[in-house]
Structure 1
Amino acid sequence: MSTDGSWQLDIESPLGKQSLWVDLTAEGEKLIGKARANGQVIDPDIIDGELVGDVASWKIKCRKPVPLTMKVTVTVNGDTMTGKAKPGMFGTFPVTGRRV
């Protein structure tokens, strides 16, 4: 399944919906890309990105409001993604995404 392109992701957290945008490119099973967030400071490069079949995963380092590493794991279906985000030790939250 192709992950290449720009994606808008919505994370349902206890603080409300958090939006994240990622630009992804698959190189075999390696996934590379850049990320940006609405209202948070994050390092732009995704880390440890991989694509196995239709499952994509990567990590993002957030610096504010709380320094943490968030792991995102999603299943890609055409122009949509569904899965979960695990921001550090704060539990797991549902994630939905669409190609933009």
Structure 2
Amino acid sequence: MSIDGKWDCITKTPMGDQKSVLTLTTNGNTFTGVNAGAMGSMDIEEGQIDGNTLTWKMEMKVPMPMTLKGTATIDGDTLTGSVNAGAFGNMAMTGTKQA
């Protein structure tokens, strides 16, 4: 299973569905990348891989500064998970790997 590449994602936020492209590069049990969308891009920090489960952090700047904590499960070309936005709680996130 390779998670490397670009993933078309949708995160269900209080401001509506936010589309983004999650670009991931693995290095052993860790990964780096960028989540880029209409609100700008955020670097992936502290990316960890445990089997088919990914965990990471992102520092959101817009519309307000906040640390987001992501977790997702990869099943083939499908990503299913959530992003925790502190006081706003968990926001569902889904994605499909680009061909």
List gaps (5 residues or longer) in structure 2.
Answer: none
Q: Partner residue of 2:14?
A: 14
Counterpart check, 1:4 vs 2:43: no
Q: Partner residue of 1:41?
A: 40
Task: Provide TM-score, normalisation by structure 1.
Answer: 0.89
- Identity of matched residues, %: 35
- Give the alignment of 1:65-84 within 5 angstroms: 65-84=63-82
Q: Partner residue of 1:51?
A: 49
1:2 and 1:89 map into 2 onto residues whose CA distance is 33
Task: Provide TM-score, normalisation by structure 2.
Answer: 0.90
Asked if 2 retains the 8 angstrom alpha-carbon contact of 1:42 and 1:63, the reply is no
RMSD, matched Cα: 1.3
List gaps (5 residues or longer) in structure 1.
Answer: none
Point out 4+ residue stretches in structure 1 off by more than 6 angstroms.
none
Q: Residues 10-52 of structure 1, C-alpha deviation per residue, up to 9 Å, x if partnerless?
A: 11122210112111011111111122121x1344x21010111
